Amino acid sequence: MFVFGDSYVDTGNFLKSGSYKPPNGHTFLGKPTGRLRHYVENSKLEYGMNFACGGTGILNTFSNGPNISTQIDSFQKLIQQNVFIKHDLNSSLVLFNAGGNDYATYTRRNGTLRDVAAFTSSLVNQLSSDLKRIEKLGVSKIAVALLMPMGCLPELSVMTSYQTCVPAPNIVSKNHNQMLVQSLAKLNHELGKSIITTLDLYASFLSTLDLMQKRRKEHVRMMNPLEPCVKIVDEEEEEGRKYIMCKKPELSFFWDNVHPSQNGWHESPTNPHPNPPSFRATKATLLEFPALNGQSISYALFQYPPGTINPPHMHPRASELLFLLHGSLQVGFVDTKRNLYTQVLEAGDMFVFPKGMIHYQYNPSGGVGATALAAFGSANAGTVSVPVSVFGSGIDEVVLAMAFKVDVSTVKKIVDGVRKS
């Protein structure tokens, strides 16, 4: 494995970091230590290398450490020196985690996160360029961590006395992740293969914090998950910094003002919503629930594993209101004048598909599933699938070839694909 990024994945490269001082290491290894630096014994090189450095970002930050591009430069030099060969790269996983320090730097320079959209775009574009570099070096498996909900970090939630996450920074994280997921989907498409996947820290952190808050309501003595376990009282004390540590760090979510604790990481699955193997629709219509007869309403629960679609289709007897529960979706419909209306949805967003209009949903994520609830204005809305109706209904293949202006062999391939699905 080769690792690039910031303190969330740095295992000791930031030598001036507080991670080399107590109480860090208390719950893992038993003492503060840097476990892996840029210099490692040759016997360990076969396991990969960690280039990540705390305080750094996709772009330059107030830290003097190497940004992502510079970290990749170091990696590239080792490849040129044949420290790592093509086989090593092709059989390895590359992990990226960065972005939080970039927004911290932006806030420090501007005093606010307002007008941050252009900055987000520059971050995503730069990270996409970095990923292209890595792929060209010969790596075939890349995992990119989505940005955590920044408003839940103790350094910000302290403004609410650790009672709730701060909304505005979380919106910035959400927009960043939405743009990043779209960019990665486009990059996978350009490469002609899905080599880049994502780790959804945003959804994972929120779901875990919510679960821990619910447990706390049942057991009032449990630690507030938004509160850091360690609070530094005096960083410059001659005999070592003074700090206050929670009584049960093994039950905390955040270790300090920014980083999850050992327990926090273990509690947080990278995809908190298990995915079915393919797109799945669980329906509650007149057919499944006869009591809906005459009620003019029905529902469906849709599950979209990474990279799957609900193919173009239409409902002849009802409009559809789609509410996204989790993940991200690209959706759209075509009106009678062939105008395409599209939107990228995030959890909590809604979209209406008018009755009789061809529409679709697509989850472009490389690693995060999506779940949506659909409501219909009829107990029996009906579904007409475009691919199945056109290519699976037995229409003469010559007719289809002439209609779509392709050869018959192409039509045969499509027909076979539709039948197999």
The string of pLDDT tens digits covering residues 255-303 is 899 999 888 888 876 555 555 668 999 999 999 999 999 999 999 999 9
What is the rounded distance in angstroms from the CA atom of residue 258 to the CA atom of residue 8? Answer: 9
Write the CB contacts of 259 (distance below 8 Å, at least 6 apart in sequence).
7, 8
Is the Cβ–Cβ distance between 130 and 71 less than 8 Å? no
46 has binding-site annotation = no
Q: Note if 259 is an active site residue.
A: yes
CATH number of the 280-382 domain: 2.60.120.10
Q: Note if 7 is an active site residue.
A: yes
Task: Give the DSSP H/E element, type plus range, for residue 151.
Answer: none
| Fold for the domain defined by 2-267 | Rossmann fold (3.40.50)
Is the Cβ–Cβ distance between 306 and 359 less than 8 Å? no
CA angle 116, 120, 125 (to 5 degrees): 150
- pLDDT confidence tier of residue 40, bands split at 50, 70 and 90: very low
What is the rounded distance in angstroms from the CA atom of residue 359 to the CA atom of residue 352? Answer: 10
Task: Give the DSSP H/E element, type plus range, for residue 207.
Answer: helix 201-218
The string of pLDDT tens digits covering residues 173-192 is 999 998 998 888 888 888 88
pLDDT of residue 200: 84
Q: Which of 6, 7, 102, 328 is catalytic?
A: 7
Q: Note if 88 is an active site residue.
A: no
Q: Which of 173, 183, 200, 259 is catalytic?
A: 259
Q: What is the spatial order of strands in the sheet that 328-334 belongs to?
A: 340-346, 328-334, 358-362, 309-314, 384-385
Mean pLDDT of 82-86: 89
pLDDT of residue 216: 86
What is the rounded distance in angstroms from the CA atom of residue 92 to the CA atom of residue 78? Answer: 15
Residue 187 Cα distances to 124, 128, 142, 279, 339, angstroms: 12, 8, 12, 22, 26
What is the rounded distance in angstroms from the CA atom of residue 285 to the CA atom of residue 295? Answer: 10
What is the rounded distance in angstroms from the CA atom of residue 185 to the CA atom of residue 162? Answer: 36
Mean pLDDT of 139-143: 92
Q: Which of 256, 268, 326, 378 is catalytic?
A: 256
Q: Name the pTM for this structure.
A: 0.66
Mean pLDDT of 352-361: 97
310 has binding-site annotation = yes
- Residue ranges in 81-166 assigned as alpha helix (H): 86-90, 100-110, 117-136, 154-157
pLDDT of residue 30: 54
The string of pLDDT tens digits covering residues 98-109 is 999 999 999 999
Q: What residue ranges do the domains of the chain occupy?
A: 2-267, 280-382
